[in-house]
């Protein structure tokens, strides 16, 4: 592999790890709220969380672009207050990957938490445990595998993200180019051999991630 | 311990649980058929379910007062709960399960010594094991110990022996009795088993379709069921329709079918006529032949219909104008050479003939 290809692989893996790590705490928290609490507006939140799964990724990217551009509400605030740019930077890559993989994490983690027998949590309370202790000693350990499976799935989704990334982060070689946008770019430039190298790496990583996910889910069921 | 339940109501699928009771005593059994709301009652007391209305007070602490918006969170109630499925934490070892409630502390004066509980319930050899490797009886003891170690002011047990076979039941019962005698934690014990009730409880509450039918000392409820439903549930062996023919001071003369019976006074209303006559099998004495004088007011010539084994005892069905069931030891049956067709005399003392208003 060439130096440029290596850079793309390292960058994409790094961004996928970062985005997955960023969505893990809020994703699990939201999954818990959806699994264990009844609240007004729950259905609306569920719908919004699932949205990126069904919307064309390019459309999600467009919304992010509008929100985070210097003239968008979020982008304007960040630029005027902190001089932080998002659009067409690495931050935009992380953002796009995070938004696109969030629903997979939340949905998997939610069903993992729902699988935990609520009677165990109730008994923990009768034994004097507060809500945090119940969550960290009962719910989380028992839902661990399912949440891990969801994390792996989210990571795999992030690795392959294309549409939203190219809208909000563009395809700037050495800055925002990921595996998917890299493949696209090489094919456009007629350098199919480079494209195939990246495709091979993508395939291997995706295979490993899904394989792990399947293993984890199977052990959950037992 | 005193547990006050005032106008506690909780709508359940086929009926509404409505309970008014003051519960005192070491072990109180909540007795009732399945689906009578026993488990729901425990859950309301523990705070796992919220009552729709009413007040629950344990000693001097109001736990729930719907009218005034009081609801003490589960973890602050100091009430231990062992559900029917035990709910042991599957990802913890036995020791970790036991220590779960203990770690969160508890008032100093109520702390129960770990070693003593482990010893009494004979859990020592199990401590390092995972809970999924335990047998049914072992799980039962671990769940009991876990609840006790949280030093509860009241322990709720939901049919702790229901899932065990008879042999195992007999092995676990002594543990429960030891816990009762040694640690003095008051217990509310849900069951529909007469034997467990008699073996463990001082008092009982009979729950039918969400309503309390009777409350009282176990012996009183068993010998004087307040209604036909309670008598049925306690499986009083002989229940007949009878008519009072004479009330004479302390004695009441009843006719059941062709047979005249004498019963001790029951505080029945003065002009009562139609009653149910209840006779428990263990209160029937069987004699063979002879005119042996006896203090029993009811001497009923009878013919043996059948003799069947019932656990350690024998169940003898007699025909004395009505079907009467007697419970005898195996030796007694052999000595009297009882078999279908044998002519005998059944003796029942007047206080053992219990009458319920029809």
b/e map B173-182, b = 16+ CB within 10 Å: bebbeebbee
| Substitution target from A121, A124, A127, A140 for chain B, most B beta carbons within 10 A | A127
Q: Which of B75, B79, B91 is opposite residue A141, by nearest beta carbon? A: B91
| Substitution target from B74, B143, B185 for chain A, most A beta carbons within 10 A | B74
Q: What is the residue-level pLDDT of chain A in tens, covering all 222 positions?
A: 888 899 999 999 999 999 999 999 999 999 999 999 999 999 999 998 888 889 999 999 999 999 998 888 998 899 889 988 888 999 999 999 999 999 999 999 999 999 999 999 999 999 999 999 999 999 999 999 999 999 999 999 999 999 999 999 999 998 999 999 999 999 999 999 999 999 999 999 989 988 988 888 776 554
Measuring CA to CA, which residue among B160, B176, B201, B196 is closest to residue B24?
B201
- Give the pLDDT of residue B321: 87
Query: Are B213 and B301 spatial neighbours (Cβ–Cβ below 8 Å)?
Result: no
Q: Is the per-residue pLDDT at B324 higher than 70? A: yes
Contact B48 A117 (CB under 8 A): no
- Whole-model pTM? 0.80
Q: Is the per-residue pLDDT at B104 higher than 50? A: no
> By three-state DSSP, how is residue B310 classified?
strand
A123 in contact with chain B, both atoms CB, cutoff 8 A: yes
User: What pLDDT digit, counting tens, does each position of B254-298 carry?
Assistant: 998 888 999 986 677 778 888 888 898 888 999 987 678 888 889
Q: Is the per-residue pLDDT at B128 higher than 90? A: yes
pLDDT above 90 as % of chain B? 53
Residue A172: both structure tokens together:
């700037």
User: What pLDDT digit, counting tens, does each position of B151-178 carry?
Assistant: 899 999 999 888 787 778 878 888 888 8
A120 in contact with chain B, both atoms CB, cutoff 8 A: yes
Residue B96 buriedness (CB in 10 A; 0-12 / 13-18 / 19+): middle
Residue B325: both structure tokens together:
């069931």
- What average pLDDT does the structure give for chain B? 88
3-state class percentages of chain A: helix first, strand second, coil last, to nearest 5: 80, 0, 20
Least confident of B114-118, B308-312, B347-351: B308-312
């Amino acid at each position: 592999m060439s130096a440029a290809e290596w850079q793309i692989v390292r960058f994409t893996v790094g961004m996928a790890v970062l985005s997955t790590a960023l969505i893990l705490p809020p994703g699990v928290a939201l999954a818990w709220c959806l699994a264990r609490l009844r609240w007004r507006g729950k259905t609306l939140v569920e719908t919004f969380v699932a949205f990126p799964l069904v919307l064309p990724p390019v459309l999600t990217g467009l919304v992010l672009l509008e929100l985070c551009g210097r003239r968008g509400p979020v982008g304007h605030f960040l630029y005027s207050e902190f001089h932080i740019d998002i659009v067409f930077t690495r931050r935009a890559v992380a953002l796009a990957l995070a938004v696109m993989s969030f629903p997979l994490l939340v949905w998997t983690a939610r069903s993992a938490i729902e699988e935990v027998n609520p009677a165990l949590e109730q008994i923990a309370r009768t034994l004097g445990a507060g809500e945090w202790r119940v969550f960290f000693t009962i719910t989380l350990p028992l839902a661990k595998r399912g949440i891990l499976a969801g994390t792996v799935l989210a990571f795999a989704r992030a690795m392959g993200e294309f549409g939203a990334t190219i809208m909000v982060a563009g395809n700037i070689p050495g800055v925002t180019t990921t595996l998917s946008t890299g493949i696209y770019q090489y094919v456009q430039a007629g350098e199919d051999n480079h494209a195939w190298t990246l495709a091979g790496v993508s395939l291997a990583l995706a295979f490993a991630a899904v394989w792990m996910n399947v293993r984890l889910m199977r052990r959950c069921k037992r | 311990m005193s547990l006050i339940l005032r106008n506690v109501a909780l709508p359940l699928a086929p009926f509404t649980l409505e309970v008014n009771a003051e519960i005192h005593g070491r072990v109180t059994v909540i007795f009732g058929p399945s689906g009578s709301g026993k488990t729901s009652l425990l859950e309301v007391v523990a705070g796992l379910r919220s009552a729709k209305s009413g007040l629950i007070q344990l000693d001097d602490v109001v736990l729930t007062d719907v009218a005034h918006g009081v609801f003490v969170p589960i973890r602050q109630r100091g009430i231990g709960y062992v559900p029917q499925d035990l709910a042991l934490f599957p990802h913890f070892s036995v020791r970790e399960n036991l220590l779960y409630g203990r770690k969160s502390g508890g008032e100093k004066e109520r702390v129960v010594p770990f070693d003593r509980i482990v010893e009494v319930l004979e859990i020592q050899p199990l401590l390092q094991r995972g809970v999924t490797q335990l047998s049914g009886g072992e799980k039962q003891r671990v769940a009991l110990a876990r609840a006790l170690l949280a030093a509860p002011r009241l322990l709720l047990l939901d049919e702790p022996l229901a899932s065990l076979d008879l042999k195992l039941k007999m092995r676990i019962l002594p543990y429960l009795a030891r816990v009762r005698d040694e640690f003095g934690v008051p217990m509310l014990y849900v069951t529909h088993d007469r034997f467990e009730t008699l073996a463990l409880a001082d008092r009982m509450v009979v729950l039918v379709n969400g309503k309390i039918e009777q409350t009282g000392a176990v012996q009183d409820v068993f010998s004087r069921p307040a209604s036909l439903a309670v008598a049925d549930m306690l499986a009083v062996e002989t229940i007949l329709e009878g008519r009072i023919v004479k009330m004479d001071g302390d004695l009441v003369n009843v006719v059941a079918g062709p047979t005249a019976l004498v019963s001790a006074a029951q505080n029945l209303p003065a002009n009562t006529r139609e009653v149910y006559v209840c006779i428990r099998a263990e209160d029937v004495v069987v004699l063979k032949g002879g005119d042996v004088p006896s203090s029993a007011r009811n001497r009923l010539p009878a013919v043996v219909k059948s003799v069947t084994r019932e656990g350690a005892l024998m169940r003898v069905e007699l025909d004395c104008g009505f079907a009467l069931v007697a419970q005898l030891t195996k030796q007694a049956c052999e000595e009297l050479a009882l078999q279908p067709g044998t002519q005998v005399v059944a003796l029942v003392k007047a206080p053992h003939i219990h009458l319920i208003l029809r």
